[in-house]
Structure 1
Amino acid sequence: MHAPSPDAPILFFDSGLGGLTVLGPTRALLPTAPIVYAADYAGLPYGKKSDEELAARVPALLGRLVERYQPRLAVIACNTASTIALPHVRAALDLPIVGTVPAIKPAAEMTTSGVIGVLGTEATVRQPYVDDLSARFAAGKTVLRHGSPGLVTAAEAKLHGLPVDLGAVRDAIAGLRDQPGGDAIDVIVLACTHFPLLRDELQALAGPGVALIDGAAGIARRIASLTQGQRWPAEARPGTAAFTHSNASPPPSRSALAPYGIGHIETI
């Protein structure tokens, strides 16, 4: 494989704006890396779609994005898409693909009560992949799951400058706490990249004795490792955000994306 051009971007892909929580720590490690952030607003929310639909939709859309932007590496910055479509994407595309999986392993190492909560989309929490992670890394511990589509909507609203639906946050925490053993949860895995956008709201309702954990920092380190030794531009340039067209979900303003290094917005 030829060494990529310094201008070849890292492509981040999500159903919406959740992948920005992965982009942020990646930019901290690779400050001059060219960035393309792609959000499939036409398909939002992924958590409501069937496994079969996502297994077909995600590789096809990523194929179009790779052809258009010629990235050096693609990041599926979406737990739902990763747990369902990652093998299909890797089979279809000839470039490194980094997925996003629930941070159950570090949560199991952190818990003292032995009870872990996993908050994700409905599609993510039902996946056998989560069963496998729990069996491999949290054997002997209790792993409680709850699917919360309302948190995705609340996170998107927050980045659009709208009020946060605290009822959705309250319902998500209650969805874990109200399960048998839920009162002993001391670590909650944020198994959707949207959810760290609501970290303050979730922490306030979960209480100070509960740690919230996600996998973004580990994903950023993986990206840095896979691109080690590659050339980058001498200076950082504004990144590009590309949104699939949706009448129901218009893209956010440039000012909302500017803190993540995004300066251009396109519709695809």
Structure 2
Amino acid sequence: MNTSSPILLFDSGVGGLTVLAELRKLMPKAPVIYAADMAGLPYGSKSEAEVAARVAGLLGRMAERYNPRLICIACNTASTIALGMVREVLETPIVGTVPAIKPAAQMTKTGTIGLLGTEATVRQGYVDDLQREFATGKKLLRYGANGLVALGEKKLRGESVSVDEVAKAASGLILQAGGENLDTVVLACTHFPLLQDELQEAFGKDVTFVDGSKGIARRIAHLLEGDSFAFWSRSFAVTTGELEDFRRLAPAFEQHGIKSLKRF
């Protein structure tokens, strides 16, 4: 393996920066290409067939162009729908992102867990499987808060996001029957931790939020343990959308050692 061979971190937008932040703590010198499918954003309102075809097609082309040592799909929606398909067609090791239901089930005191994701994620059978395996006997409330994706993107662009906006977008979770007993909420979209301060204020100090970013970073580090790395000075981020708009996110990328933004 070439020591400059990158890790490809893929997301529908910039929510995957929450994963990159944790990865940098464990592997500060690992070469990373961040790929944002801004032209396809949001995935949460698309059909399963649309998401699967788009993700598989893009990752196939990106794997061919960049020859990554590992691909991380840093998107719950893309992972719950397309992970199996992508693993079948690519030889590259692939790490997906799944809702952190297992740790949430271990943390809850009331037995009532909230799952806050996109509409496409919360309706997946994969979530049913996770609930059966790790949260038997617990009450799992689900809510598809697609509006939080746009608010997370907006916040990263330096625009103002109010607690009221975030509370309104997420209110459908706590307004369900049994919502008053929520004490643990799974943030099942990598965009959502970008809004954790606002979510905490909206839900109250007694609610604990959990996401999978640390676990994903640990999994990547484990799979690449023993690999040699040469920091890739030309590390960059790519977008499928408009480059001018993408460049407004430059300060956010610079925090993680990525200074070059390009169009894919």
Under TM normalisation by the shorter chain, which class is it?
over 0.9
SS in 2 for 1:189: strand
Percent of residue pairs identical: 55
Corresponding position of 1:5: 2
1:217 to 2:186 alignment: no
The alpha-carbon deviation at position 167 of structure 1 amounts to 3.6
Structure 2 unaligned spans of 5+:
none
Corresponding position of 1:76: 73
Structure 1 unaligned spans of 5+:
none
2:181 to 180, 184, 192: 184
Instruction: Judge conservation of contact 2:148–2:169 (CA < 8 Å) in 1.
Output: yes
In the alignment, the residues of structure 1 paired with residue 43 and residue 163 of structure 2 have an alpha-carbon distance, to the nearest angstrom, of 22
Q: CA RMSD in A?
A: 1.5
1:96 to 93, 96, 117: 93
The alpha-carbon deviation at position 247 of structure 1 amounts to 8.4
In the alignment, the residues of structure 2 paired with residue 107 and residue 183 of structure 1 have an alpha-carbon distance, to the nearest angstrom, of 17
In the alignment, the residues of structure 2 paired with residue 22 and residue 53 of structure 1 have an alpha-carbon distance, to the nearest angstrom, of 24
In the alignment, the residues of structure 2 paired with residue 5 and residue 250 of structure 1 have an alpha-carbon distance, to the nearest angstrom, of 29
Corresponding position of 1:31: 28
Letter of the 2:239 counterpart: F
1:267 to 2:263 alignment: yes
Equivalent runs, 1:240-251 vs 2, <5 Å: 240-246=236-242, 250-251=246-247
In the alignment, the residues of structure 2 paired with residue 41 and residue 103 of structure 1 have an alpha-carbon distance, to the nearest angstrom, of 25
What is the CA deviation profile of residues 72-125 of structure 1, one whole-angstrom value per residue up to 9, with x for unaligned ones? 000000000000000111011111000000000000000000000000001000
Corresponding position of 2:11: 14
Equivalent runs, 1:169-208 vs 2, <5 Å: 169-208=166-205
In the alignment, the residues of structure 2 paired with residue 32 and residue 220 of structure 1 have an alpha-carbon distance, to the nearest angstrom, of 14
In the alignment, the residues of structure 2 paired with residue 163 and residue 253 of structure 1 have an alpha-carbon distance, to the nearest angstrom, of 14
Corresponding position of 2:135: 138
In the alignment, the residues of structure 1 paired with residue 234 and residue 180 of structure 2 have an alpha-carbon distance, to the nearest angstrom, of 45
What is the CA deviation profile of residues 131-166 of structure 1, one whole-angstrom value per residue up to 9, with x for unaligned ones? 110111000000000001110000000111111153
SS in 2 for 1:155: helix
Q: 1:7 to 1:193 in 2, by over 3 A?
A: same
Aligned residue pairs, count:
264
In the alignment, the residues of structure 2 paired with residue 247 and residue 261 of structure 1 have an alpha-carbon distance, to the nearest angstrom, of 19
Letter of the 2:159 counterpart: L
What is the CA deviation profile of residues 183-222 of structure 1, one whole-angstrom value per residue up to 9, with x for unaligned ones? 0000000000000000111111111101000000000000
Instruction: Judge conservation of contact 1:41–1:249 (CA < 8 Å) in 2.
Output: no
Instruction: Judge conservation of contact 1:188–1:212 (CA < 8 Å) in 2.
Output: yes
1:255 to 2:244 alignment: no
Q: Which has the larger displacement, 246-255 or 186-195? A: 246-255
The alpha-carbon deviation at position 260 of structure 1 amounts to 1.6
Instruction: Judge conservation of contact 2:7–2:70 (CA < 8 Å) in 1.
Output: yes
Instruction: Judge conservation of contact 1:26–1:220 (CA < 8 Å) in 2.
Output: yes
Instruction: Judge conservation of contact 1:238–1:261 (CA < 8 Å) in 2.
Output: no
Return the TM-score normalized by structure 2.
0.96
Equivalent runs, 1:85-124 vs 2, <5 Å: 85-124=82-121
The alpha-carbon deviation at position 69 of structure 1 amounts to 1.1
Instruction: Judge conservation of contact 1:15–1:45 (CA < 8 Å) in 2.
Output: yes
The alpha-carbon deviation at position 227 of structure 1 amounts to 0.3
Instruction: Judge conservation of contact 1:154–1:165 (CA < 8 Å) in 2.
Output: no
